[in-house]
Chain A
Amino acid sequence: MKYVDEYREQTKAAALSEKIREITPLDSHYKIMEICGGHTHTIYKYGIESYLPDNIHLVHGPGCPVCVIPLGRVDDAIAISLQDVIFTCFGDMIRVPGNKRSLGDAKAQGADVRIVYSPLDALHIAEQNPSRQVVFLAIGFETTAPATAIALKRAKAMRISNFSVFCNHVTIIPPLVAILDSENVEIDAFIGPGHVAAVTGSRIFAQITETYATPVVVSGFEPLDVLQSVYMLVKQFHEGVRKVENQYSRVVSYGGNPVALRVMEETMEVRPYFEWRGLGTISNSGLKINSEYADFDAENRFSIPGTEVKEPRACQCGQVLQGKIKPYECKVFGKACTPEKPIGTCMVSAEGACAAYYNYGRFMEINAKLVKSTK
């Protein structure tokens, strides 16, 4: 495929790998967190770690939007879906377990839950079904929030009164700050989320480098993008600088997408606090629909239990999301918790660190076992 295969070339990867090894001192260890689940997926799918020296450690951050939705919000979504509505969501959300059941279970029992690929598809369903209430379950970072904002603006302009949004959008900087502020976390650098930055611009990461002296390289999602970003980070260490760099310049600008930022501004406001799966409650980290669009806020239109659910004790998603442990170090990984029967959300979405590792990374484990058994 033209314009894609060029970013997956093995010879170029080997060359980058060599350059990384050349400037990585043998006696130091670097812990690099990729923030975005898309990067986690790429790292495992293409075996990026095999191109890196042993003393560069990749840890997986909180940037998979499905993974960070707390159990209580899933239960709230299910509660809405059972109020005789057409409930629309992205495909990944269908299997996410709440306290007892998922939206998929609700669907099997008769709730009208439909998969859409865009909030505008949900709006379209509302247009076609004027006698039914249509709710869109909005999740995701600044990447997906503008599309929700546009759906809200259109709904208002077209006076589609049977459409509403259950808003769970979050923003990227607060969880990073929370991770950097928490104890026992040593992150040396971040691979920055390219698609968030396409909206916000790479400039928003300046506060991370300024306050915490932690370098950030905003990265694309093809394997060579990620390898090059690691190289740029190691080069910063090598040269003794700490700055924000933009590897994904074919998509990301410094200032971001002004139209996307404006529509978000016009339709949403920052929540004083929002709960994150595994990370707890983080101040100013969630977005809600603002007063001007309150009529389209599902939280005003339906009765929502506002469930608070304790996380399963066995689940260590929180520590995975903070980069404290690798997926396979979790007690239930691959045993009680598998993509088929996930306990934690990191195992549900293909972008979740645990699912990515389970699907692609176990090879390393098998090989380790084979080596052991032949000894």
Chain B
Amino acid sequence: MPLAKQISDTKKKFITMPVGSGGKATKTFINTLLLPRFANARLNVLGDGALLDTSGDRLAFTTDSFVVSPLIFPGGSIGDLAVNGTLNDLAACGAKPLALSLSLILEEGLSLVVLEEVLDSIQAALNKAGVEIVTGDTKVVEKGKADGCYINTSGIGIVHQNSRNLGPKNISVGDDIIVTGPIGDHGTAIMLERGNLGIEADVKSDTVALAEPLGALMDQYGLSLHAMRDPTRGGLATVLNEMAESSNVGIEIDESQVPVRDEVRAVADLLGIDPLYIASEGRMVIFVNPEETENIVKILKSYPESENMAVIGKAVAEHPGFVLQNTSFGGQRIIDLLTGDPLPRIC
């Protein structure tokens, strides 16, 4: 059937790109297509991973798929991204990784040189974190049916005994909000690497596992950590909106306190994109008991992967469910969920 005819025959019954954006369309997709079919108490929380009760230890279980293009980019590859992403989701559940799974979907004709580089980076990320892949799967599809390589990783971790205050429901008014480093590096690096912008800037992906600093926090101040989530797709703005909505507090952040590298700000400014919506892959947003903020900051600053952390705002009683930003210009504005997809396939 000619394309024009096909389109006029269907009434939008197809997946469009924004469904994968992490923004509003993703939320609608989850709420209308996935939850009605798969709802259960553990899934409905929509956290970074599920908490499983066992006889003794509590387990955290999480899964994530990676479709980034290009496969290799400054600061990393789809391989270490896939490992670090899942490790960070476990960390966000307050869990120490126990084991990972690895599923590869490869396109016929993918260069072995590229694949080996990806596999090497997986190995390096695993070694760094001291975690093993204990199960896996590989599929190959015909040329043209995938874009080089897609990866799924799942992870199981043991939940720290100090994590019982962790989860958006435990966010309370007055909590300080911390981000563990400058935001937007990963998304910007990918944009630049795609090379069709005619902009050159020295920006590397921030992909890194945060198990060490977050593990130390758990050990010492775990009961003062109220919620954690990593600002990947949709960026910091999306995570804050999710948190505001599921905890029903208001959130206020100060533009001047949000760490953004000059290079990232400049690229975002040129393209008309707000850095608050650009993905990071090695950052965590943490809601903490304000009485312990100072001590928590000290610990984070002592690890290289979180030394550039910042306290960016607070949970407030006003405007529950909404995120507001005090601009450095002295105004206030709403930070809404992302609409559309400025940048598809970044992770």
Pick the residue among A82, A101, A121 that contacts B12 (CB under 8 A): A101
Binary interface encoding of chain A residues 89-131 relative to chain B, with 1 for a CB under 8 A from any of its CBs, else 0: 0010011000011001111111100001110010000000000
Q: Tell me the nearest residue of chain B to A10, going by C-beta.
A: B330
Q: Which residue of B lies closest to A44 (CB)?
A: B333
* Tally of contacts, chain A with chain B, CB under 8 A: 96
Q: Are B3 and A4 in contact (CB under 8 A)?
A: no
- Chain B residues near A84 (CB-CB < 8 A): 3
- Cβ-defined contact, B333 with A363, below 8 A: yes
What residues of A have a CB within 8 angstroms of the CB of B266 in the complex?
A: 1
Is the beta-carbon distance between B14 and A108 smaller than 8 angstroms? yes
Check A10–B329 contact: CB distance below 8 A.
Answer: yes
In this assembly, does B58 line the interface, its C-beta being within 8 Å of a C-beta of chain A? Answer: no
Are the C-beta atoms of A110 and B3 separated by less than 8 Å?
yes
Main secondary structure of the interface of A (DSSP, over half): helix
**B33 within 8 Å of A by Cβ?**
no
- Asked whether, in the complex, the Cβ of A109 is within 8 Å of the Cβ of B6, the reply is yes
Tell me if A46 is interfacial: C-beta within 8 Å of chain B: yes
Cβ of A47 and Cβ of B330 under 8 Å apart? yes
Residue A140 CB within 8 A of the other chain: no
CB distance from B198 to the nearest CB of A (A): 7
Which B residues are CB-close (under 8 A) to A366?
319, 322, 334
Closest to B262 in A: A1
The reply to whether A118 and B12 form a contact with Cβ atoms under 8 Å apart is no
Q: For residue A109, which residues in chain B have a CB less than 8 angstroms away from its CB?
A: 3, 6-7, 10, 14
When distances are taken between beta carbons in the complex, the residues of chain A under 8 Å from B24 are: 340
Please tell me if B328 contacts chain A, counting CB pairs below 8 Å. Answer: yes
Beta-carbon contacts under 8 Å, B23-45 to A: 24-25
Cβ-closest chain A residue relative to B344: A115
Which residues of B (313-329) have their CB < 8 Å from a CB of A? 318-319, 322, 324, 327-329
Report if A132 contacts B (CB, 8 A): no
Option from B4, B272, B319, B322 in Cβ contact (under 8 Å) with A350: B272
Which residues of A1-36 have CB atoms within 8 Å of chain B's CB atoms? 1, 4, 8-10, 13-14
Q: Identify B334's interface contact among A4, A108, A360, CB under 8 A.
A: A360
Q: Check: B331 CB closer than 8 A to any chain A CB.
A: yes
Whether A1 pairs with B342 at a CB distance below 8 angstroms is: no
Known: A10-B329, A105-B16, A116-B196. Contact between A362 and B334, CB under 8 A? yes
A157 CB-CB contact with B under 8 Å: no
Is A339 an interface residue, CB under 8 A from the partner? yes
B334 engages A82 (CB within 8 Å): no
Q: Distance in Å from the Cβ of B333 to the closest Cβ of chain A?
A: 4
Tell me whether A111 and B331 are in contact (CB under 8 A).
Answer: no
Residues A46 and B7 in contact in the complex (CB < 8 Å), given A117-B197, A340-B339: no
Interface string of B1-22 (1 = CB under 8 A from A): 0011011101010111110000
Residue-wise, chain A 57-94 has the 8 Å CB interface mask toward B (1 for contact) of 00000000000000000000001001010000001001
Taking a contact as CB atoms closer than 8 A, the residue among A10, A47, A105, A117 that contacts B198 in the complex is A117
Closest-CB distance, A137 to chain B (whole angstroms): 17
A111: chain B residues at CB < 8 Å are 3, 7
Would you call B64 an interface residue if the criterion is a C-beta within 8 Å of the partner chain's C-beta atoms?
no
Q: Is there contact, CB below 8 Å, between A359 and B7?
A: no
Q: Identify 13 new A-B residue pairs, CB closer than 8 A, beyond the known A13-B329, A109-B7.
A: A10-B330, A46-B331, A46-B333, A50-B330, A101-B12, A105-B7, A108-B16, A121-B196, A223-B329, A359-B333, A360-B334, A363-B324, A366-B322
Residue contacts A-B, CB under 8 angstroms, 13 given:
A10-B330, A47-B327, A79-B4, A104-B17, A105-B7, A108-B14, A108-B15, A109-B14, A339-B339, A340-B24, A350-B272, A366-B319, A366-B322
